[in-house]
Amino acid sequence: MEEKRIGVYICWCGTNIANMVDVEALSKEMQSLPNVVISKDYKYMCSDPGQDIIVNDIKEYKLNRIVVAACSPRMHEITFRKALETAGLNPYMFEMANIREHASWVHTDRNETTGKARDLIAAAIARVQWHESLEKRIAGVNPATLIIGGGISGISAALEIANAGKQVYLIEKSGTLGGIAAGIDLTYPFLNSAKQMIDHKINTVMNHPMISVYLNAEVKPEFGKKIVGLVGNFETTIKSNGEETKLNFGNVIVATGLKPFDAQKVINYGYGKLPNVVTSVDFEKILKSGVIITRDGRVPKDIAIIHCVGSRNENYNAYCSRTCCMTALKYVNQIKSALPKTNIYDIYSDMRAFGKGSEELYSITSRKNMMFLTFDHKENLPQIKQASYEDPFNLLIEFKEKFSGESIEVPADMVILMVGMEAHDDAKQIAHDVGISLCGNRFFIERHPKLDPVATTTDGVYVVGTCQSPKDIPDSVSQARAAAARVLASILVGKVEVEVTTASVNEEVCCGCQTCISVCPYTAISYSVEDKVSKVNEILCKGCGTCSSACPTGAIRSKHFTDQQILSQIEGMMSASKSKKNLIEIEET
């Protein structure tokens, strides 16, 4: 066992950490810990000069283990590992103490925070003692890509990849491509026909040599899980129109799209009971049919549009669906051009006109002869009633107008409910199948809300379009193409680093009790009868470590998260806070 020489580096992160943590004092203090050769603090460790400090010290002081106390490892672990590599040290001889997200940013008392930071750093130092160098493993990337969902996002991504000459498997649950966008008549803000746009794309996809489309397709579960493998080498079996096909692919793009909010949930609006209350989805159909008439075949004299149906309301969905406002204005324009005499009442909460051409659309529409009314989207929503027989109109909407405070009634022959977007009911299942996670609103979580909105926490799986968050067509398309670019890039590189922190079996100790086998979600562990021991397939293993904690003999070690490492992390952590703690208890007793 070679001598352990640890270098400790504490980051100020400008003032982010230094304000709440006495960085200098800590770096002095850490100097005294066992095996710590050098301990420094610096304004920005992640900056190039910061990394250079580490690189040089490794060379100068022959350091073989590095601890950096800075931000979250989810942020910069990779950065510093690279630094270690450049210095010729194995990247896994590194441990990070998160004293920003978990200390300086979340606490208010400087002493306490410093104390906590001390514990965390001490823990990291104690842990890094037991780190071992792990060798990178490289796997090839299968150039094919699986795209789940044949909506506008899926199609766009498919074409992007296929046009680059790479195979695409496009699977669609329904019988046709195009998704929601195909059901739209005109698109806002420029009122172009969606049909022209989509049909063309669909045809290209259907006839594209590099795209194989599977309609009415579903993925068949294997070992309870539908898509097995990992970035670069996934595999699955899909069932399309009865026949099964086995697919191998390197990347997955999830473009499962959205589900319109079920307006029946809002009782006030009587959708489903009152025939002339229609959702935006229904109205698109009416528009496509070419003639705007009520269910009872009359030309509507008054049309009311109600916004935020199922959106921005705790009882339904708290979030904003982003597209409804502009769609409503689109309707106003379409109705006005079809039936100039018809009165239009736009009952909204806030007009959200972001994005190119939208504000313009709003101001143009607001000049039209129509009425904007506001309602409180949180409580006492409008009440839609059947009008009495003598009334010349069909429906009556009663509510308290927010701006004027007047309680008013709006006559209408037809009411259009602008329903919001929801995640699919089987979103959770899909997430499970491809191994990604859902946010509170059951949309898929991207890797980073700002810096990485396309990738997910599972390498090789990308989310695009409305399954990630409510979006309009341009946003969906650009996200889809961004994903395509990412996929092509990974194909171009041709190889991926495979999870190194896998589990491994110490066959000297393994007694073959086979407890571990059924534990593994990736079927990476198998029992070899001749050796009478379990063996781990390191390609399939994703390193969750559940097996090693299930192993009663301690034969399975999950690399980089060994018992030894974690236990000493705990001990290190406590030993730092012990002294303080005892003192307190003495005071008490």
Partner 1 sequence: MSQRVNLDLKNELFLYGAKEWNQCFQCGNCTATCHTTENDFFFPRKTVRQVLMGLKKSLQTNIDPWLCTYCGDCSTTCPRDANPAEMMMSIRRYLISVYDWTGISKLFYKSKALEIAVIFLLAIAVMILYLFFTTFPSGDNSQWIGPDGGALINKIAPWKRIHFGDWIMAGILIFLIITNVFYMWYKIILEDKSIKIGFIDYFRPVSALPKLFNPEKKYARCDEKKLTVYWILHLFLALSYATLFTIIVFFLEWFQTDSVYPIFHPQRLLGYIATVGLFVGIIYFYTNRTIKNLENSKYSHFTDWTFLILLFLTTLTGILLHFFRIYGMPQLVYITYLIHLMVLVPMLMVEVPFSKWSHMIYRPFSLYFAHLKKMAIKKQKIISDEYSQQN
Partner 2 sequence: MQFQPVIVSFLCNWCSYTGADLAGTSRMKYASNIRIIRVMCSGRIEPTFVLTAFKEGADGVLICGCHPGDCHYHEGNYKCLRRFHLLQKYIQQMGIHPDRLRLEWISASEGKQFVELADEITETISKLGPARINKYMEVAKY
Partner 3 sequence: MEKKENGQKPKLKLAVYWGAACGGCCVSVLDVHESLFAVTEKADFVFWPIALDIKYNDIKAMPDGYIDVTLFNGAVRNSENEYMAKLLRDKTKILVAYGSCAHMGGIPGLANFFNKDEIFNRVYLTSETTFNPEQTMPQTEYEVTEGKLHIPVFFDDVKPLNHVVCVDYYLPGCPPKTERLVEVFMAIATGAQLPSKNSVIGARDKAQCDECDRKKTENKKINKILRPFEIVDDGETCFLEQGIICMGPATRSGCGNRCIKGNAPCRGCYGPPPDITDPGAKMMSALGTMIDSNDPIAIKEIVEDIADPAGTFYRFSLPGSILRRKIL
CA distance 397 to 387: 9
Instruction: Quote the CA–CA distance of 284 and 299 in Å, as a whole number.
Output: 17
- Min CB(85)–partner 1 separation in Å: 57
374 makes contact with partner 1 (CB under 8 A): yes
Q: What is the rounded distance in angstroms from the CA atom of residue 552 to the CA atom of residue 42?
A: 44
CB-based burial label for 183 (10 Å; 0-12, 13-18, 19+): middle
Question: Binding partner of residue 569 among partner 1, partner 3, partner 2, none, CB under 5 to 8 Å per kind?
Answer: partner 2
Give least dist CB 350 to partner 1, A.
10
549 near partner 3, judged by CB under 8 A:
yes
User: In Å, how far are 248, 345, 399, 504 from 409, measured between CA atoms?
Assistant: 60, 11, 7, 72
Please identify, using beta-carbon distances, which residue of 205 and 573 lies nearer to partner 2. 573
Minimum distance, C-beta of residue 431 to partner 2, in the bound complex (Å): 7
425 binds partner 2 (CB under 8 A): no
- Residues between 385 and 424 that touch partner 1 (CB under 8 A): 398, 401, 403-404, 406-411
The rounded distance, in Å, linking the Cα atoms of 137 and 543 is 14
Q: Annotate each residue in 511-530 with x if it binds partner 2 (CB under 8 A) or - if it does not, as one string.
A: --------x-xx--------
Q: Interface with partner 3 includes 53 (CB under 8 A)?
A: no
574 binds partner 3 (CB under 8 A): no
Site for partner 2 in 214-273 (CB under 8 A): 224-225
Closest separation in Å from C-beta 472 to partner 3: 39
Q: Name the token pair of 519.
A: 């534990």
Give, to the nearest 10 degrees, the angle between helix 73-86 and helix 48-61: 50
Q: Which of 80, 76, 77 is nearest to 89 (CA)?
A: 80
- From 142-150, 341-349, 404-412, 424-432, give the range in contact with partner 2 by CB under 8 A: 424-432
Binding partner 1 (rule: CB under 8 A), the pick from 44, 130, 372, 527 is 372
87 binds, among partner 2, partner 3, partner 1, none (CB under 5 to 8 A by kind): none
Residue 176 contact, options partner 3, partner 1, partner 2, none, Cβ 5-8 Å cut-off depending on partner type: none
- C-alpha distances in angstroms, 41 versus 17, 54, 99? 11, 11, 13
Q: Is 535 in the site for partner 1 (CB under 8 A)?
A: no
Interface size with partner 1, residues (CB under 8 A): 23
β-pairing, 168-171 vs 145-148, is parallel
Calculate the alpha carbon distances from 563 to 103, 456, 548, 556, 566 in Å.
Answer: 25, 29, 9, 10, 5
**Which candidate, 88, 68, 455, 98, places its Cα nearest to that of 79?**
68
User: x/- binding map, residues 441-480, to partner 2, per CB under 8 A?
Assistant: ----x-----------xx----------------------
For the bound state, the minimum distance from the C-beta of residue 234 to partner 3, rounded and expressed in Å, comes to 25
Cβ–Cβ < 8 Å for 482, 474: no
153 binds partner 1 (CB under 8 A): no
Provide the mask over 509-548, with x wherever binding to partner 3 is found by CB under 8 A and - wherever it is not.
xxxxxxx-xxx-------x----x-------------x--
End-to-end, the C-alpha distance of the chain in Å comes to 44
Tokens of 354: 């972001």
Residue 374 Cβ vs partner 2, minimum distance, rounded to whole Å: 30
Determine which residue in the list 544, 555, 556, 557 makes contact with partner 2, applying CB under 8 A. Answer: 544
Sign of the torsion formed by the C-alpha atoms of 473, 474, 479 and 483 = positive
Cβ neighbours of residue 93 closer than 8 Å, sequence gap 6 or more: 64, 65, 66, 84, 128, 131, 133
The residues binding partner 3 (CB under 8 A) are 506, 508-515, 517-519, 527, 532, 546, 549-555, 563
The residues binding partner 2 (CB under 8 A) are 72-74, 98, 100-103, 105-109, 112-113, 115-116, 119-120, 123, 224-225, 428, 431-432, 435, 437-440, 445, 457-458, 501, 519, 521-522, 542-546, 548-550, 558, 561, 563, 566-567, 569-571, 573-575, 577-578, 581, 584-585, 587-588
